[in-house]
């Protein structure tokens, strides 16, 4: 189809006019948007400073409540034997005081009085449980001396309080506070001496505290809180908070890079934009403030932040811009309509093919393209269908081969247990988790006594069957979360990822020894073996994988030198240093 010069000139002039209108409209919108964003940054920083003061005031108020409860006469009197009528009355008075405090402050999860002696035994404890309160008594009272909020608070002087790190509460029996973001505030209780005899601990519902702080802010404001490493503690998207508690790190400096200066301590506050193109409705204006956290000299801090969607700031500007766009669209509809009618016949199938290829490359989903056409587009569609099917089949074969190779590389070919490489990796992971949680783990080395005589007497086939059966018995002695691995020959390793007491590890080791001492019925032969077991505990017997392994190995050889068929803990003389 041929067009005259008049039509071409009209299209050219219309194009220049539409282009000029679009440029003017765009720069007017961009200029207004920039001005509004700059004003919002100033307002946001001011609001953040007020929020920071309110946050610190709230924390100080909790500290004052803890000090008030620690100074209650009944708190000091309750530290008696607890057997007399007067002592029981003091306990009841203190419990009533705790309940009254919880009713006044709905953001409190729990209030406890914990002794300095008797392994930090709870004396009085009142928990929030649903919509009511529960007093925990008798055998349900727990020992808490190993928690920092107890032993560190006992070091404090009169009038001082201890703030714990903000974490997810994993303490069993915490009722409404279980698995909730928690800040613990502790104050020491003094009797007639200068040494604290107990601590009062208040557990704070972090989410409820910040909901209360945010109540006076505009609805479009979003609040952030991170620890001193940048891990989110409060985030508009709850799934982004406390990622470290799930084994992953979600850091504020990854989304807002300027916050790095707050983490490093080179600045006290920053104002920044999570910037998208000026014409986009997305993006955020954000301000962050570094606040001290904890006692003087501890060096701990938190980062408090506020953000506001740019779309909220430029809503009116966006409306005017949209009206301008609508005018431009109306003027351009006639020209666009002609292009659409022509392009749909050709570009429609091409777009479908491009979408199918993109979907296949991202999600490996095969889309059947229209291949009934007899022209070049039909030939291209048939070729793409064949290509997708072939590639998908090849990828499935490659992935299956990778899985097989990965399993062979990490597992013992005979027993199917994790090999030395995978065992080392799991030890490193368990050590990292134990260091983060300040927990304990156990590494157990098991060596079969006189295994060579089994091979020499019954043959290597019987020896292999014995190793496989021994592996299955050891697996039956541990939890699913633990690891049984073969280090080589007749040497095995057992990793107990989490333990509470050292005796837990020796009990498991004794269970393994007893299980292996039972006769084996293998291929018509009845065989009996014994084993030598060495037990090492983190962190007492090694702060790293090498030292811990050396300690367990030394204990195992000490057990073997002692005649075998025994469990030898490191603390009985086989410790390794360095």
Same domain, 552 and 427: yes
**What tokens were used for 83?**
């057997």
**CATH number of the domain bearing residue 564:** 3.30.70.270
Q: Would you place residue 191 in the very low, low, confident or very high pLDDT band (cuts 50, 70, 90)?
A: confident
Quick check: is 105 in a domain?
yes
Confidence class for position 515, pLDDT limits 50, 70, 90: very high
DSSP symbol at 488: E
Q: How many domains does the chain have?
A: 4
Pair 222, 338 in one domain = no
Contact 561, 577 (CB under 8 A): no
Mean pLDDT, rounded, for 373-382:
68
The pLDDT, as a whole number, for residue 483 is: 94
Q: How far is CA 279 from CA 18, 30, 320, 410, 548, in A?
A: 18, 7, 13, 51, 58
Given a contact cutoff of 8 angstroms between Cβ atoms, the answer to whether 381 and 353 are in contact is yes
- The tens digit of pLDDT for each residue in 50-82 reads 999 999 999 999 999 999 998 888 777 766 655
Nearest to 237 by CA among 255, 262, 261: 255
Query: Could you tell me if residue 165 is inside a domain?
Result: yes
Banded pLDDT at 28 (limits 50, 70, 90): low
Residue ranges making up the domain that contains 276: 33-54+218-313
Domain boundary among 191, 209, 227: 209
350-354 mean pLDDT: 67
Q: Which residues contact 353 (CB under 8 A, 6 or more apart)?
A: 369, 380, 381, 384
| pLDDT of amino acid 136 | 92
Written as one string, the DSSP assignment of 450-516 is THHHHHHHH-HHHHHHHHHHHHHHHHTTS-TTSEEEEEETTEEEEEEEEESSHHHHHHHHHHHHHHH
Claim to verify: residue 434 and residue 549 sit in the same structural domain: yes
Q: Determine the average pLDDT of the residues in 304-323.
A: 74
Each residue's pLDDT tens digit, 435-461:
999 999 999 999 999 899 888 888 889
pLDDT (tens digit per residue) in 229-285: 999 999 988 888 988 888 889 999 988 899 999 999 899 999 987 754 444 456 788
Q: Could you tell me the two tokens for 13?
A: 């002039």
- Judge whether residue 224 has pLDDT over 80: yes
Whether residue 233 is found in the same domain as residue 302: yes
Asked if 541 and 450 touch (Cβ cutoff 8 Å), the reply is: no
Place of tokens 């050889």: 557
Please, which pLDDT band fits residue 524 given cuts at 50, 70 and 90? confident
Q: What is the pLDDT of residue 349?
A: 65
Q: Are 534 and 558 in contact (CB under 8 A)?
A: yes
Q: Pairing between strand 531-538 and 566-569?
A: parallel
- Sign of the torsion formed by the C-alpha atoms of 359, 360, 362 and 363: positive
* Assigned domain for 18 exists: no
The answer to whether residue 118 scores a pLDDT higher than 70 is: yes
pLDDT band at 328 (very low <50, low <70, confident <90, very high): low
Are 198 and 233 found together in one domain?
no
Q: Are 527 and 462 in contact (CB under 8 A)?
A: yes
- Is the residue at 320 inside a domain? no
Residues labelled as active-site residues: 490
pTM for the model: 0.52
| pLDDT > 90? residue 7 | no
Domain boundary among 313, 345, 376: 313
Q: Same structural domain for residues 286 and 404?
A: no
Identify whether residues 391 and 495 lie together within a single domain: no
Structure token digits, residue 97: 């005081």
Choose one of 387, 408, 429: the last residue of a domain: 408
């Amino acid at each position: 189809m041929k067009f005259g010069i008049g039509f071409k000139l009209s299209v050219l002039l219309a194009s220049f006019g539409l282009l000029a209108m679009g440029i003017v409209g765009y720069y007017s919108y961009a200029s207004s948007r920039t001005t509004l964003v700059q004003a919002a940054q100033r307002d946001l920083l001011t609001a953040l400073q007020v929020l920071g003061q309110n946050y610190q005031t709230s924390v100080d108020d909790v500290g004052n409540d803890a000090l008030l409860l620690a100074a209650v006469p009944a708190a000091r009197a309750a530290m008696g034997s607890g057997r007399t009528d007067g002592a029981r009355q003091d306990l009841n008075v203190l419990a009533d005081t705790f309940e009254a405090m919880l009713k006044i402050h709905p953001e409190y999860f729990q209030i406890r009085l914990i002794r300095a002696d008797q392994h930090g035994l709870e004396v009085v404890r009142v928990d929030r449980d649903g919509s009511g309160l529960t007093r925990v008594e008798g055998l349900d009272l727990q020992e808490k001396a190993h928690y920092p909020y107890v032993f560190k608070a006992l070091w404090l002087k009169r009038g001082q309080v201890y703030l714990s790190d903000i974490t997810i509460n994993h303490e069993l029996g915490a009722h409404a506070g279980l698995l909730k973001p928690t800040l613990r505030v502790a104050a020491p209780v003094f009797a007639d001496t200068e040494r604290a005899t107990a601590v009062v601990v208040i557990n704070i519902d972090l989410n409820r505290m910040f909901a209360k702080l945010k109540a006076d802010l505009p609805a479009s404001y979003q609040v952030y809180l991170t620890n001193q490493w940048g891990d989110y503690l409060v985030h508009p998207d709850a799934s982004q908070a406390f990622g470290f508690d799930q084994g992953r790190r979600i850091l504020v400096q990854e989304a807002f890079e300027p916050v790095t200066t707050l983490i490093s301590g080179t600045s006290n506050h920053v104002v920044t934009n999570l910037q998208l193109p000026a014409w986009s409705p997305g993006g955020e204006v954000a301000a962050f403030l570094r606040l001290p956290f904890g006692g003087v000299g501890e060096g701990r801090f938190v980062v408090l932040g506020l953000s506001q969607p740019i779309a909220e700031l430029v809503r009116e500007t966006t409306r005017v811009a949209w009206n301008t766009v609508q005018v431009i669209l109306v003027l351009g509809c006639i020209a666009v309509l002609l292009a659409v009618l022509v392009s749909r016949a050709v570009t429609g199938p091409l777009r479908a093919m491009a979408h199918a290829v993109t979907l296949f490359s991202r999600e490996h989903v095969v889309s059947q393209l229209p291949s009934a056409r007899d022209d070049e587009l039909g030939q291209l569609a048939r070729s793409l269908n064949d290509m997708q099917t072939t590639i998908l089949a090849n990828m499935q074969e490659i992935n299956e081969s990778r899985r097989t190779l990965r399993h062979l590389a990490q597992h013992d070919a005979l027993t199917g247990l994790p090999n030395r490489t995978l065992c080392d990796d799991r030890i490193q992971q368990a050590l990292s988790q134990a260091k983060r949680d300040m927990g304990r783990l156990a590494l157990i080395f098991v060596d079969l006594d006189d295994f060579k005589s089994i091979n020499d007497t019954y043959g290597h086939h019987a020896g292999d069957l014995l190793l496989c059966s021994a592996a299955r018995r050891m697996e039956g002695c541990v939890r699913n979360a633990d690891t049984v691995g073969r280090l080589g020959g007749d040497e095995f390793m057992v990793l107990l990822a989490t333990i509470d007491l050292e005796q837990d590890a020796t009990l498991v080791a004794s269970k393994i020894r007893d299980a292996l001492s039972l006769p084996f019925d293998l291929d018509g032969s009845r065989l009996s073996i014994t084993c030598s077991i060495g037990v090492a505990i983190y962190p007492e017997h090694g702060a790293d994988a090498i030292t811990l392994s050396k300690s367990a190995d030394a204990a195992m050889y000490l057990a073997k030198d002692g005649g075998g068929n025994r469990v030898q803990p490191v603390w009985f003389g086989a410790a390794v240093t360095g």
